[in-house]
Amino acid sequence: MNPRLAAARALAAVLAGKASLGSSLPPLLDKVEQRDRGLAQDLAFGTARWQPRLALIADKLLQKPFKAADRDVEALLLIGLYQLFYTRIPAHAAIGETVACVDKLKKPSLKGLLNAVLRNAQRDGEALIASLERDPVLHSAHPRWLQKALKAHWPEQWQAICAANNAHPPLILRVNRR
């Protein structure tokens, strides 16, 4: 299975509120080739980490939101945006591979839409982010309800908490001496 498709299916279950990423991703990773599992995990967890920010960008790029039945294509869009803004994957590869996954979802009518939105994001991404500069969700990548709760409980540290939540965890290696 394509790593982008696996990440999108896992993320679609999360967006629909049916599962957590921890429960929806592992069965799909078993279907992904060994060499691509790291990419699938990075796409799924990275997109989930930046989902509020990516959703805000997607809302600006789309004329109307996706239907509930197209949650998997919405997840693909967020994964494509994550690749464009947060990875070193070349833009042409990120867009091409992500759009190709729409055929595997058996929704070819949305292929042109996904391609157009990702190309617009590639072309106008910096200007789009600049236009959203005042929105606190864009800066912290945390939903407004969570920001309110953090501000209420930790008014001095809430920004540091948001920054720590967005940081990649450290790499830890352990030697088994047995």
Summarize pLDDT for 1-20 with one digit per residue, the tens: 899 999 999 999 999 889 99
Which residue would you say has higher pLDDT here, 174 or 138? 174
Give the residue numbers spanning the domain of 177: 142-178
User: Packing angle between helix 91-104 and helix 71-86, nearest 10 degrees?
Assistant: 170
Same domain as 129, residue 75: yes
**pLDDT at 126 (0 to 100):** 83
The mean pLDDT value of the chain amounts to 90
**pLDDT at 170 (0 to 100):** 83
The CATH code of the domain that includes 88 is 1.10.940.10
Same domain as 121, residue 100: yes
Asked if residue 38 has pLDDT above 90, the reply is: yes
Same domain as 125, residue 38: yes
Q: Which tokens sit at 43?
A: 């796409």
Domain count of the chain? 2
Q: Which tokens sit at 111?
A: 């292929």
**pLDDT at 89 (0 to 100):** 92
Same domain as 162, residue 121: no
pLDDT digits (tens, 9 = 90+) for 89-147: 999 999 999 999 998 988 888 899 999 999 999 998 888 878 777 777 777 888 889 99
Instruction: Output DSSP code: residue 170.
Output: P
Same domain as 157, residue 99: no
Same domain as 173, residue 108: no
pLDDT digits (tens, 9 = 90+) for 45-88: 999 988 988 998 999 899 888 888 888 999 999 999 999 999 99
Give CA–CA dist 32/168, Å, rounded. Answer: 23
Same domain as 59, residue 7: yes
Same domain as 163, residue 91: no
Give CA–CA dist 77/151, Å, rounded. Answer: 31
